Amino acid sequence: MEMNTTTQVTAMPRIGEKAPSFKAVTTQGEINFPEQYAGSWVILFSHPADFTPVCTSEFMTFATLEKQFEEANCKLVGLSVDGLYSHIAWLRTIKEKIEYKGMKEVEVKFPLIEDITMEVAKKYGMIQPGESSTKAVRAVFVIDPKGVVRTILYYPLSLGRNFDELYRIVVALQTADAFSVATPADWRPGDDVIVPPAGSCGVAKDRMEGKEDMKCYDWFFCTKKLPKETVLNTILKK
């Protein structure tokens, strides 16, 4: 006897697509995501489980850097498949007992989503059975003020994230949007930025002959100065 089985497959969101919507209970009350964050950049990130050491180090770091992200108009939202009371107990333990790399009495003020049913984790492709079928991998989604996914990063359970890079991504994306440029490898505010390729032979010729205020390594690869102060005055909230 032949049996028909149906497997529900949820494709993870892709760069350039709208972030999947959801409502959820968090340690800071209910949220309606991403609608209530319209106008702000958001980092939505998952961690495998409460009361685990790598996750603890990450949450302490994110909480310590929250003001820096806030100044760049970026909100933080965490998620794991643990329950709300576990979240609360873990965050209280972090504040009351954990001291790490000079960080102590760290209070996590950004919301941590309860996702026992894994509904949100599955919408965002955070459950990857090859790594674990019961825990979310360390996923990071950078979402812009229009609710569009702009960057996706995935880490295995054993690897803690680089938070300097997460902040650099937020600033670089905003810089690219604000100044219609691209950012080269290892770019930091103050470094030269890449000018979009020439759209015509005439423009390419002018660039190569030094008729525009930029440095061209070849017709397709030109950079220009963009002062750090200009970037930060545009990006950072006053």
Q: How far is CA 54 from CA 49, 85, 86, 98, in A?
A: 10, 20, 17, 13
SS3 142: strand
From-to residues of CATH 3.40.30.10 in the chain: 22-161
> What are the tens digits of pLDDT across the range 169-207?
999 999 999 999 999 999 999 999 999 876 556 556 666
Catalytic residue ranges: 55
Helix axes 53-71, 84-97, angle to 10 degrees: 80
pLDDT of residue 212: 64
Please enumerate in sequence order all residues whose Cβ is within 8 A of that of 150, keeping only pairs 6 or more positions apart, or say none.
Answer: 15, 16, 142, 143, 144, 173
Pairing state between β 41-46 and 221-224: unpaired
CB 204 within 8 A of CB 219: yes
Indicate the pairing of strand 112-114 with strand 74-80.
parallel
Q: What is the pLDDT of residue 130?
A: 67
Confidence class for position 8, pLDDT limits 50, 70, 90:
very low
Range 22-161 classified under CATH 3.40.30.10: yes
User: What residue numbers does the annotated binding site cover?
Assistant: 138
Give the C-alpha separation, 68 to 162, whole Å: 15
Fold exhibited by the domain 180-235: Antioxidant, Horf6; Chain A, domain 2 (3.30.1020)
Cα separation, 202 vs 221, whole angstroms: 15
pLDDT per residue over 76-108, tens digit each?
999 988 999 999 999 999 999 999 999 999 999
- For residue 220, the model assigns a pLDDT of 86
The rounded mean pLDDT for the chain is 89
Residues at the annotated binding site for substrate?
Answer: 138
CA distance 208 to 219: 6
Q: What percent of the chain has pLDDT over 90?
A: 70
Q: Are 166 and 140 in contact (CB under 8 A)?
A: yes
4-42 burial code (b ≥16 CB/10 A, e <16)? eeeeeeeebbeeeeebbebebbbbeeebebbeebeeebb
Residue partners of 180: CB distance under 8 A and separation at least 6 = 196
pLDDT at 137: 72
Structure confidence at residue 196 (pLDDT):
84
Per residue in 125-144, pLDDT (tens digit) is 887 766 665 566 789 999 99
Q: What is the DSSP letter of 44?
A: E
Under the banding of pLDDT at 50, 70 and 90, the label for residue 1 is: very low
Domain with CATH 3.30.1020.10 in the chain: 180-235
C-alpha 33/C-alpha 189 separation (Å) is 30
**Which pLDDT belongs to residue 133?**
58
